[in-house]
Amino acid sequence: MARKKKEPIVIQKTELIPTTIGTINTKENGPWVVIIIIILLLVGIFFIDDITEFIKNPSLDYFTSQNTPSSDSPLTPTNPNEEPEEKIEYYELKSDLIVEKDGFQFSNFDYQENKATLAFKITRKDAEENYFVQNNYFIEIYSNSNTLLARMKIPNQTINITKSLNFNIESALKNGKPAKIAFVIKEEKDYPQVTLHQNNNNTYSMTCNIDDLKVTYYFEKQNTNYPLVAFEENIEYTSSIEDFEKIVRDYTTLEEELQNQEGIDVELTTTTNRLRYQVFVDLKVVSNQVYRQHFNKTSNYALNTEAKVISFELESSGYACE
């Protein structure tokens, strides 16, 4: 078999032409390279301790821990527009306690555990006379562990010089042993919503009780709100109560004054040992003058007052609302 003839290898002697990929202008870039090297050296010198520690312990935990505030340091709110929560200032509940706050002096504290009462005196210093009319002011009762036991609202009344108050704190005693108190102002927008009973006549109601008084409030739904439109008071006294005869005379006079008043339906029943007083008030109809004159108790509220306001404030005054 004949061998295949090898072809001769031809080497081309053409001159190689260099191909330009890019150019570096050493005159312009040279100084920048030097500057960058100097900056890196300075950074290395400044963080030499951290770099050394990282070489010994190559973990990101070291650097993370350097930027994490301790539990003892104040934290910045995540939302810069959000106001920090107001710190509660507690006072030990004792008879010689004197508190100067908001232009008033609170003193003469008398806590009677067996009677479930807390009494104290308010003296106006440099505050406005109608300060408690303009503000929803509360005294809160706490346990030793700062657990809220009860909240009592200062009546919306003017104080010219001094005023003595006495609260029933039975609800506080049910929740724990009172040890501290605090003074706070609440805004109505912060009051919790309540659940109302829906009636057959397309109204809603809520009943609040304390001692011998029961008040049923009636509301109408307007969008998402439930404004007050009427209420009914029921009061019963027995002859065992002190000054029973005087109470009978006072309610007899009140019934006579309210009879035939527009928007008011009143009924008084008395016997030798019992008094029953019932009054229904239509707040849309009754005159402002008559209402201001005869309905100024803690349980009396103006037309269109929201249900959550009545519930929150009355329960803070010892009422049970449902």
Domains of the chain: 91-186 (2.60.40), 197-321 (3.30.1830.10)
| Rounded Cα–Cα distance for residues 212 and 239 (Å) | 13
State residue 81's pLDDT score: 35
Cα 220 to its chain centre, rounded Å, is: 26
Instruction: Indicate the range of 96-100, 208-212, 214-218, 265-269 predicted with least confidence.
Output: 208-212
| Rounded Cα–Cα distance for residues 312 and 162 (Å) | 26
Cα 115 to its chain centre, rounded Å, is: 30
> For residue range 146-163, what is the model confidence (pLDDT) as tens digits?
999 999 999 888 999 999
- Model confidence band, residue 57 (pLDDT cutoffs 50, 70, 90): low
- Model confidence band, residue 14 (pLDDT cutoffs 50, 70, 90): low
Residue listed under structure tokens 């539990």: 71
Helix, strand or coil, per DSSP, at residue 226: coil
| Rounded Cα–Cα distance for residues 242 and 110 (Å) | 23
Residue 125 · residue 105 · CB < 8 Å: yes
β-pairing verdict for 162-168 and 180-186: unpaired
| Rounded Cα–Cα distance for residues 59 and 281 (Å) | 75
pTM above 0.75, yes or no: no
- Model confidence band, residue 112 (pLDDT cutoffs 50, 70, 90): very high
Cα 307 to its chain centre, rounded Å, is: 17
β-pairing verdict for 180-186 and 264-270: unpaired
CA geometry: angle 24, 28, 30, nearest 5 deg: 80
| Cβ within 8 Å of residue 288, ≥6 positions away | none
| Rounded Cα–Cα distance for residues 307 and 231 (Å) | 12
